[in-house]
Copies of this chain bind each other. A is one copy, B any other.
Amino acid sequence: MDGKKLNSWKQQRKERRAMLSSNQLFEELLSGNSVALSSAITLIESKKASDQEEAQKLIEKCLRIDNNESIRVGITGVPGVGKSTFIESFGLHLIKLGHRVAVLAVDPTSEKSGGSILGDKTRMNELSQQPNAFIRPSAAGKSLGGVARKTRETIILCEAAGYDYILVETVGVGQSETMVHSMVDFFLLLMLSGAGDELQGIKRGIMEMADALIITKADGDNLVAAQKARIQYKNAMQLFPKNENGWLPRTMITSALENSNMEMVYDTIASFQNSTKINGHFKHKRENQDIYWLQEAITEQLLNDFYQNQKVVKLLGELKQKVLNKTCSPFNAADLLLYTYKSIE
């Protein structure tokens, strides 16, 4: 098939899948069918109003499936830290232990394409061939809120399809770490050793979000430096304010090359699950996250509506300039903009 034919075939397949009703998809999802899962995700990503309606019905069905045994793990780190090789190595460990693993990516800059799917599967070659692994690239979306919504909904679908270990990888662009942090149970920060005080470009505040910090590539000549870095980070993280849930963040070293310490990462997360389930914080956090996303979605849509208003757009540039020229106070400028916005509704 040439490129044109392939695209046309893909389009047809997509439409056929999207035509499955939410009832049919739900039944197939429950049986753990990964093709149905792909179709369901395509459905929630569709921009067609009729698809969106079916998608919402499907989501509400899936929400009622008990997912208390699932764990959602966020993974971040700068490019080059080895996120994909870590996930490949850790994912295979999970499969061996009998888990069903879903790997989702959050990259607000990516536009979804066949290329990026292929890219993801190539990066995790062995994992992608496992029947109990499901790998899905980032949802496309103009806004971070749109990507957030699709990723959250995809997690619900994966859990309904029986994937109990959800890994959400993020590239760390813009606010994407904060977003992923707000939709997972456990947040992993991958770091390189020996990158000095420049700290590899991670953003301020990310370290304090981490439930565990892992120094990657701890092998060969790099092992000693990694061990040393671990001690430094361990000491530093002890000075952070304690988490409300009583969890003390852990620091570890791993090597994806040597497949080392994957059981330690697993045990750490299992220990987190146990202790936060006992003290009630596991459920509490998920509930808080639900309310958080309700509020975030409201805020985003109110702001979108405001900033897309033509009279606001026209006035905003002018007033920003006045604020910078110190001929108008920021608060007064806000008052004027809000007055304009309201007067034309």
Contacts and interface: CB of A to CB of B under 8 A. Distances in A.
Given A198-B242, A208-B205, A291 B323 contact: yes
Nearest to A297: B334
Given A152-B331, A199-B239, A329-B56, A298 B306 contact: yes
A236 B323 CA distance: 38
Interface residues of A, number: 63
Given A59-B329, A60-B328, A235 B232 contact: yes
A319 interface: yes
A294 interface: yes
Interface string A167-194: 0000000000000000000000000000
Interface string A47-69: 00000000010011001100000
A330 interface: yes
B293 A330 contact: yes
17 contacts: A63-B326, A63-B327, A64-B327, A153-B329, A197-B242, A198-B242, A199-B241, A199-B242, A204-B209, A204-B241, A207-B208, A207-B239, A208-B208, A291-B330, A293-B334, A299-B299, A301-B334
A287 to B, nearest CB: 6
Contacts of A63: 326-329
B337 A298 contact: yes
A97 interface: no
A297 B240 contact: no
Contact of A294 (B298, B327, B333): B333
Contact of A233 (B59, B239, B301): B239
A340 B156 CA distance: 26
A338 B198 CA distance: 44
Contact of A239 (B201, B232, B242): B232
A236 B302 CA distance: 40
A11 interface: no
B240 A338 contact: no
Contact of A302 (B56, B201, B306, B326): B306
A337 B293 CA distance: 13
A72 interface: no
Nearest to A319: B294
Contacts of A329: 56, 59-60, 63, 153, 156
Contacts of A201: 241
B334 A298 contact: yes
A152 B335 CA distance: 15
List 7 A-B pairs, minimum CB-CB distance, nearest first: A297-B334, A236-B236, A294-B330, A293-B330, A63-B326, A199-B241, A236-B239
A263 interface: no
Contacts of A327: 60, 63-64
